[in-house]
Amino acid sequence: MKSEAVTLKVRQAQCLSLVAKGLSSSAIGSQLGISLRTVDQHVEGARAVLEAQTRGEAVEKARALGLI
């Protein structure tokens, strides 16, 4: 990962936190009142920031950095 501080946008962190709890994208969308596509965009954005290949890896990295 980059040497500068890594931060997530609020919705990215919310979505990733719910992924960590085992919710599907559809369930996350329903809970947050956003579309499935928007959920996926937020999770993909978080993956990019965290330089993670998978959702699971993004969750692990976000937890390790105290972001979720």
**Model confidence band, residue 5 (pLDDT cutoffs 50, 70, 90):** confident
Looking at domain 10-64, its CATH class is mainly alpha
pLDDT of residue 1: 57
Query: What does the domain layout of the chain look like in residue ranges?
Result: 10-64
- Residue-by-residue DSSP string for 6-40: P---HHHHHHHHHHHTT--HHHHHHHHT--HHHHH
Query: How big is the CA angle at 48 (ends 47 and 54), to the nearest 5 degrees?
Result: 35
pTM of the model: 0.90
- Written as one letter, the residue type at 43 is V
- pLDDT of 22-52, one tens digit each? 999 999 999 999 999 999 999 999 999 999 9
Rounded-to-integer distance, Cα 34 and Cα 17, Å? 15
